[in-house]
Amino acid sequence: MPARRRRGQELEDALLDAAWDALIEGGYAAFTIDAVAERASTSRPVLYRRWKTREDLALAAIGHHVTRDVRPIPDTGTLRDDVIAVLLDANETRIAMAAIIVGQLGTYYQETRTTPADIRRQMLGERPPLMETIVRRAVERGEIDPARLTPRIAGLPLDLFRHEVMMTLAPVPKDTIVEIVDDIFLPLVT
């Protein structure tokens, strides 16, 4: 029996999954349209109809992977517990992404003259930063003084978490997460 032909979202998902796997396996330096086509059991024209360049395909694969793991923003009732929950969740879902962004995309950054921050901005699009929602809720509950907030302070827990991950390429220990929240972030906002 001949193989069933994939179409629509099923085909696109298979192509983006193959591209993601190729990025993880060989990094951007070894990332080619041919390699992705072979991995996805399709032809180059199928990929070129959707993405004009390997850069476009790589970004689409990263975006696909990011949006696949989007979870609801925790709403535990306290700022402390919300921030800890977000960081623990990131430990489970974002470590592979950090490894890709740091270790496998060096050639991409050189060729495109971009940075990990550029990719992050592109992936976020119009969505407000995660911490913005958590901090807004805490202000509404009266937990924090909005006069003490700046965008840098509001984003600090995730910035420190990202730094830990990028330096170690490993999950952040829970005691480090608690230290980021209790010893650094909360004293700045309460």
Domain membership of residue 2 (yes or no) is no
Position 152 scores a pLDDT of 93
Residues 106 and 90 occupy one common structural domain: yes
User: How many structural domains does the chain have?
Assistant: 2
What three-state secondary structure class fits 139?
Answer: helix
pLDDT recorded at residue 4? 65
Whole-Å CA distances, 124 to 113, 120, 187: 19, 6, 28
The 10 Å Cβ neighbour count of residue 86 is 22
What is the model's pTM?
0.77
In-domain check, residue 105:
yes
Whether residue 60 contacts residue 19, with contact meaning beta carbons closer than 8 Å, is answered with yes
Residues constituting the chain: 190
pLDDT of residue 13: 93
Task: Judge whether 119 lies within some domain.
Answer: yes
Which structural domain range is residue 150 located in?
A: 72-189
∠ CA 183-187-190, rounded to 5°: 145
Ranges of the chain whose pLDDT falls below 50: 1-2
pLDDT of amino acid 98: 75
Please state the φ and ψ torsions of residue 84, each to the nearest 5 degrees. -60, -40
Digit-coded pLDDT (tens) for 118-160: 887 887 776 777 899 999 999 999 999 899 899 999 999 999 9
CA-based nearest residue to 12, from 62, 47, 39, 38? 47
Question: For position 165, which CATH number holds?
Answer: 1.10.357
- pLDDT score of 3: 55
pLDDT one-digit tens code per residue, 154-164: 999 999 998 99
